[in-house]
Amino acid sequence: MADQGFFNKVYEVVRLIPFGRVTTYGAIAKYLGAAGSARMVGWAMNVSPDDVPAHRVVNRIGLLTGKHHFKGTNLMQQLLENEGIEVYDNQIQHFEALLWDPQKEL
DNA sequence: CTACTGACTGAAT
DNA sequence: CATTCAGCCAGTA
């Protein structure tokens, strides 16, 4: 696969997110050296393949901003709860504890 | 080619 | 403390 650069790395990092963990657009962007381009991470998710667990990627406050883009209205939340993550009203509970920062963890 | 939008974020008001 | 503004890059009209 040709290295698309930004997008490819976003997919790579998102796939590396451990089970039951989540990360933020800003954390990924910063890890890629594109801090401030958090929107591009979200855009990358929009065109991301199905093997990318985009449901593990949320905004900085643990709010499921992208759930509206999923097939089902509550699919994203269901996937997170399926991993043991507590989600209430599109808001991830214990977000700080579940946050997985690639720049920090790696 | 220019303009607008978008799964965001941080700083300013 | 809540709301608003500007910046980021890529894709579509």
Give the type of residue at A48: S
Spanning CA of A97 to C1' of B1, the rounded length in angstroms is: 48
The pLDDT, as a whole number, for residue A21 is: 97
Would you mind telling me the total number of residues written for chain A in this entry?
Answer: 106
Reported as a single tens digit per residue, the pLDDT across A58-102 is: 999 999 999 999 988 899 999 999 999 999 989 999 999 999 999
pLDDT band at A36 (very low <50, low <70, confident <90, very high): confident
Q: Is A53 exposed, middle or buried (CB count within 10 Å of its CB: 0-12, 13-18, 19+)?
A: middle
Give distance CA A1 / C1' B9 (Å): 31
Domains and CATH numbers, chain A: 6-105 (1.10.10.10)
How many angstroms is C1' of B3 away from CA of A45? 24
Counting residues of chain A whose pLDDT is more than 70, the rounded percentage is 96
Nucleotides of B under 7 A from a protein CB: 6-10
